[in-house]
Copies of this chain bind each other. A is one copy, B any other.
Amino acid sequence: MARLDVKIPEVEAGSYPIFIEAGSLCGVWERLEADYPKLQKFVVTDANVVAAGHLATLIGDNSPPMYSIDPPGEISKHIDTVIGIIEQLEKAFFGRDTLIIALGGGTVGDIAGFAGAIFKRGVKVVQIPTTTVSQADSSVGGKTGVDSSISKNAFGAFWQPDTVFIDVETLNTLDDRQFCAGLIEGVKHALIADSEYFEFYEKNIDAILKRDKDVLEEIALKNCSIKASVVEKDPTEQNLRRILNYGHTIGHAVETASGFDLLHGECVAIGIIGAGMIEEEMGLGGGRLGRIEQILRKLQVPVRIPAEIDKKQLINIVKRDKKAVNQWPKFVLLEEIGKAMCKDGQWAVNVDRDLVERILTDLY
């Protein structure tokens, strides 16, 4: 079992552990009983995770109170779902001694984490991510949030988990599309922080697509390590942490404009190509875009905006980006593979609006 400690001064213990081991899920409940004997346990999961059998693996013969998000996915990542979870906790007389156990993908983690952040002014949360995207991304960093009826992540909080358990065997129940889309956050980590890790993807692409356990454990560990090292330096995203949004400005807009027909990772892949095109236009490209596009194509994700997405709508959404300042978001760009660009001390930089609009046209 690999263990990684994420150093976050905000949490009581000063850090929290991430445990990574294939096949470990069936032992987690016993561990929670031992580690949190005084807390009332409440599971938040979704209908897909239940159908995949992961809830049964986690709880065994136990029958804790729970909330299963239905329908699963982005459509339920809404403040109304959080209200539903909290009202269920209240009806069951849960108090501040609650432990919320989030079992599922990124949306389960975001919803359950945010519910934990605001229920009775905050209760402990354990995250058990079961998808490639959540094991790469949401295990570390404490970002939680849900959408309003108007935009993504309008509601949110920084709320660190108390422990994270990663079992890469849960990835076996994902279909190929979800599995591959979730790997894109890892590619993004490689691009912003570690050129050797990018080469790891190039070398091991076949083993990855065959879902080789050892390779997936290595990827999980690498993703958590890179993200932890960034988050530790800037837990509340004042500056450096923004590099984790590489590919996300355009990516988020495409995701919203697609009505969430496209998966998050698929949109980030398109956003990574968009950012690469911006870099080339600004003379920062260095000819690497082909190499990046090749690995994304091997991972079977789209690298262009689908024709059916309306460009005007896309630009309107970019203006409402959660990191917008004066109604226009800044962009994270690369200096080279493995290194995000820092300009005048800032990791997210202004890009000319006309240039962005031009790239959005070229990206179709």
Q: Mark A100-138, 1 if CB is under 8 A from B, else 0.
A: 000000000000000001111110000000000000000
8 Å CB contact of A86 from B148, B236, B319, B326: B148
User: Judging by beta carbons under 8 Å apart, are B79 and A83 in contact?
Assistant: yes
* Assembly CA distance A119 to B96 (angstroms): 23
Q: Chain A contact residues: over half helix, strand or loop, or mixed?
A: loop
Query: In the assembly, how many copies of this chain are there?
Result: 2
A157 at the interface (CB under 8 A from B): yes
Nearest B residue (CB) for A95:
B324
Q: How many residues of A contact B (CB 8 A)?
A: 41
Q: Report the bound CA distance from A154 to B119 in whole Å.
A: 6
Q: In the assembled complex, which residues on chain B have CB atoms less than 8 Å from the CB atom of A157?
A: 117-118, 121-122, 157
Contact between chains at A87 and B143 (CB < 8 Å)? no
Query: How far in angstroms is the closest Cβ of chain B from A339?
Result: 26
Q: Is the CB of B158 within 8 A of A145?
A: no
Can you give 20 A-B contacts (C-beta < 8 A)?
Answer: A79-B83, A86-B155, A87-B148, A87-B149, A87-B150, A90-B148, A93-B319, A95-B323, A95-B324, A96-B322, A96-B323, A96-B325, A118-B118, A118-B157, A119-B155, A121-B145, A121-B153, A121-B157, A121-B158, A121-B236
With contacts A95-B324, A97-B326, A118-B156 known, what are 6 further pairs, Cβ within 8 A? A87-B149, A93-B320, A93-B327, A121-B145, A122-B157, A122-B236
